[in-house]
């Protein structure tokens, strides 16, 4: 079952650090958000494989919005 990695702050998706099929480790940065002129990394809460990237670079996102889906 896939689980999403969500934005922890409202902002703009500055950079996506992973692609579908990538293996990620716990704590690895999957995306970088820009908010209030600061870059904020979004880290994976656990290890898994990226099954979907749900946003594009430059998109505006709200706090809690899903960014990436992972399967354990």
Q: What is the band of 1 on the pLDDT scale with cuts at 50, 70, 90?
A: confident
Across the range 2-19, mean pLDDT stands at: 96
- 3-71: CATH class: mainly beta
Q: What is the band of 14 on the pLDDT scale with cuts at 50, 70, 90?
A: very high
Which sequence spans correspond to the domains of the chain? Answer: 3-71
Cβ-Cβ contacts under 8 Å for 1 (sequence gap 6 or more): 71
**Residue 2 has what pLDDT?**
87
Closest CA to 19 of 50, 44, 41: 50
**Residue 70 has what pLDDT?**
96
Closest CA to 28 of 14, 9, 2, 47: 47
Residue 56, both tokens: 């594009």
- For residues 12 and 29, the answer to whether their CB atoms sit within 8 Å is no
Across the range 16-27, mean pLDDT stands at: 98
- For residues 50 and 22, the answer to whether their CB atoms sit within 8 Å is yes
């Amino acid at each position: 079952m896939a689980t999403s990695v969500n934005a922890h702050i409202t902002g703009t998706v500055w950079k996506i650090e992973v692609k579908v099929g990538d293996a990620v480790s716990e704590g690895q940065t999957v995306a970088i958000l820009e908010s209030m002129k600061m870059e904020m990394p979004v880290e994976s809460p656990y290890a898994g494989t990226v099954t979907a990237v749900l946003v594009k670079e430059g998109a505006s996102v709200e706090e809690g919005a899903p960014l990436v889906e992972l399967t354990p």
